[in-house]
Amino acid sequence: MPDVNKRNDERPVGELVQQLSEQTSTLIRQELRLATAELQEKGRHAGVGAGMFGGAGVVALYGVGALIAAAIIGLGTVVEPWLAAVIVGVVLLVLAGIVALAGKKQVEQATPPTPERTVRSVREDIDTLKGRAHG
């Protein structure tokens, strides 16, 4: 154990380097522990937030169901209740089909999952470099 009462300029260089190494590794370990604790805390908050978003989604789903029931009941005052349910059901299925087609179009635009413009640009760069190397 180094003599802490000794002044730094009286210690051999090897001892100072060893002390620096020990203090640096201690500092790194402490910083890693701090980072781990901070990430755990943020992870807890993210988990709670995600759970709350999930709960909000369930409540929203029930709300949509209640609005659909209200639409059927409201339309049921004009036509037979069973026909009101069929009409609302058909409208919802048509809407689902439109959303599915729009989603399919978006997925098709995302495939293949390669950065085509970047690949093309890199190939052009390679061709340019080859041209300079030969010319």
Contacts for 98-103: CB closer than 8 Å, 24+ residues apart: none
Q: What is the pLDDT of residues 38-58, one digit of tens each?
A: 889 989 989 999 999 999 999
**Dist CA 58 CA 62 (whole Å):** 6
Instruction: Indicate the pTM of the whole model.
Output: 0.54
| Residue-averaged pLDDT of the chain | 87
Answer yes or no: is pLDDT of 120 > 90. no
Q: How far is CA 48 from CA 29, 35, 51, 55, 59, in A?
A: 29, 20, 5, 11, 17
Alpha-carbon dihedral angle through residues 62, 67, 72, 76, given to the nearest 10 degrees: 130
